[in-house]
Amino acid sequence: MLYQTIDILGTVAFAISGVLVAMEKRLDLFGVLIIAFVTSIGGGTLRDLLIGNTPVAWMRDLTYVSTIFITVVFAIIFVNQLKYLRKSLFLFDTIGIGLYTMLGVEKGLEAELLPIMCIFLGTMTACFGGVIRDILCNEIPVIFRKEIYATACIVGGASYFLFISLSLKESYAYIAAIVVVISLRLLAVRFGISLPNIYKQKT
């Protein structure tokens, strides 16, 4: 029940972030729906294909598609109430990567993968939908820039296995790892922490 709830919350968070990006780009209604859809299910689709879990989850359960449709309608109606558009986008995107990281880790564990592979699978689940969204909207994906994004997912996924090794109850470790991802991303942006830039500044 916990995992399904988190899955739905992640779907909602990413759908809203997709709607906000699409509306910022002034796409039509169909474009908004498509961007919300690929943002929500892109990472999970790739994850399921890699571990052989087919048909992929959203094709077997209409809950995901229904949730995306309802979320899109809600976000469009209340977009004016989502003040400070960029802050709203950042917040929902951050919540989404936190939730989806641990969903990917859980799927990796179900497939009996090694912990390191579970972490990679979680990072992919969290980031790939956003990559598709940004590419379709003609933006350089956040994951390819110097911002702390995928790194937060990796640290959060690793923290889950650390918490488990410290004998923390599985459900608590799961939630704590989500908090680690979200907190790390928020703190990195708040204090301007980023990965080193490999390109030298021009003088």
pLDDT tens-place string over residues 14-30: 998 899 899 889 999 99
For residue 169, give Cα distances in angstroms to 2, 7, 163, 198, 201: 14, 20, 8, 41, 48
151: left (phi over 0), alpha (psi -120 to 50) or beta: alpha
- Specify burial of residue 5 (Cβ count, 10 A radius: 0-12, 13-18, 19+): exposed
3-state DSSP assignment of residue 96:
helix
- pLDDT value of residue 35: 96
Which region among 43-52, 117-126, 189-198 has the lowest average model confidence (pLDDT)?
Answer: 189-198
pLDDT tens, position by position, 126-141: 999 999 999 999 998 8
- Specify burial of residue 161 (Cβ count, 10 A radius: 0-12, 13-18, 19+): middle
How many residues are there in the chain? 203
- pLDDT value of residue 144: 81
- pLDDT value of residue 90: 83
Give the pTM: 0.86
Cα separation, 22 vs 94, in Å, equals 17
- Looking from the CA of 153 toward its CB, the CA atoms found within 13 Å total 31
Cα separation, 173 vs 166, in Å, equals 10
pLDDT band at 193, cuts 50/70/90? confident
* Pairwise pLDDT comparison (153 vs 79), residue with the higher score: 153
Q: Is the pLDDT of residue 82 over 80?
A: no
Q: Is the pLDDT of residue 161 over 70?
A: yes
CA gyration radius for the chain?
17
Q: Is the pLDDT of residue 202 over 70?
A: no
pLDDT tens, position by position, 92-147: 889 899 999 999 999 999 999 999 999 999 999 999 999 999 999 999 888 887 67
Cα separation, 178 vs 175, in Å, equals 5
CB–CB of 152/185 below 8 Å? yes
Q: Where are the domains of the chain?
A: 2-190
- pLDDT value of residue 200: 60
186: left (phi over 0), alpha (psi -120 to 50) or beta: alpha
Instruction: Give the number of other CB atoms < 10 A from CB of residue 148.
Output: 18
Structure tokens at 142: 């956040």
- pLDDT value of residue 80: 77
pLDDT band at 83, cuts 50/70/90? low
* Mean model confidence pLDDT for the chain: 89
Residue for token digits 């923390």? 168
pLDDT band at 199, cuts 50/70/90? low
